[in-house]
């Protein structure tokens, strides 16, 4: 992993770090989503962010305060926006993964709500897919399926079977159009009873994938 990307991930983990005393009601996945929301460019108010993140205004205030102290956001009359340092982290995030996107998962559906996420160049990191499933379930999802994209084919990890041919469905075209996968990418489909749980599960599984082969000493 490039140093810039590792530094971006370490920054996100630091922002979400639990302090001594009362714990803020947000996770690193909320910090990632916040960067994606602010990365869209227009200033955002705290109430708007609270609604989209489905977090209390106090938690959002704490997140923004930490980001402001780190020099990653600035407050303006119309709301808050990323500084150049914050925009740099956003760009690194966008190079590593897509935002979680709702999807009609068809044959891979595992709940009332399903979200998909793509992790760039990560097929070589995927073992059995159980690690991603377990991470998603710990985050509140019901289950997850991990696919790798190799030579234009969707494959299950460790199984040289073209699942698009094995399970014909319009879902595969939808997935291509939605995520635009490239050779060597991985895709994680997460299902849950609620959109928030599915989205959080997708982000958690993606971060687990990115951080899996990094020694603990390098994450701090």
**pTM attached to this predicted model:** 0.91
Residue 143's pLDDT is 97
CATH of domain 3-95: 1.10.10.10
Give the pLDDT band (50/70/90) at residue 214: low
Partners of 143 in the beta sheet? 191
Q: How far apart are CA 169 and CA 122, in angstroms?
A: 25
Give the pLDDT band (50/70/90) at residue 213: low
Tokens linked to 98:
């897509």
Residue 217's pLDDT is 42
| Beta carbons within 8 Å of 124's beta carbon, 6+ residues apart | 184
Over the stretch 183-210, which tens digit does the pLDDT of each residue have? 999 999 999 999 999 999 999 999 999 9
Residue 3's pLDDT is 83
Give the pLDDT band (50/70/90) at residue 18: confident
Lowest mean pLDDT among 5-14, 78-87, 88-97, 98-107: 5-14
Over the stretch 103-123, which tens digit does the pLDDT of each residue have? 999 888 999 999 999 999 999
Q: How far apart are CA 81 and CA 39, in angstroms?
A: 8
97-218 is classed in which CATH architecture?
Answer: 2-Layer Sandwich (3.30)
Q: In the chain, what are the domain boundaries?
A: 3-95, 97-218
Tokens linked to 201:
């599960």
């Amino acid at each position: 992993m490039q140093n810039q990307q590792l530094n971006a991930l370490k920054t996100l983990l630091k922002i979400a770090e639990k302090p001594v005393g009362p714990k803020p009601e947000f996770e690193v996945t909320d910090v990632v989503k916040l960067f994606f929301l602010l990365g869209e460019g227009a200033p955002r108010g705290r109430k708007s962010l609270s609604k989209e993140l489905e977090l209390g205004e106090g938690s959002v205030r704490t997140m923004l305060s930490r980001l402001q102290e780190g020099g990653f956001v600035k407050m303006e009359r119309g709301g808050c926006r990323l500084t150049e340092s914050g925009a740099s982290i956003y760009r690194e995030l966008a190079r590593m993964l897509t935002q979680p996107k709702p999807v009609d998962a068809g044959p891979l559906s595992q709940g009332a709500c399903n979200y998909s996420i793509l992790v760039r160049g990560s097929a070589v990191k995927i073992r059995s897919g159980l690690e991603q499933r377990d991470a998603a379930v710990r985050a509140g999802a019901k289950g997850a399926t991990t696919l790798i994209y190799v030579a234009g084919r969707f494959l299950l990890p460790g199984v040289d079977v073209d699942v698009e041919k094995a399970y014909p469905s319009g879902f595969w075209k939808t997935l291509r159009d939605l995520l635009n996968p490239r050779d060597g990418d991985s895709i994680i489909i997460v299902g849950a009873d609620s959109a928030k749980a599915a989205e959080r599960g997708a982000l958690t599984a993606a971060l687990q994938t990115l951080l899996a082969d990094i020694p603990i000493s390098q994450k701090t």
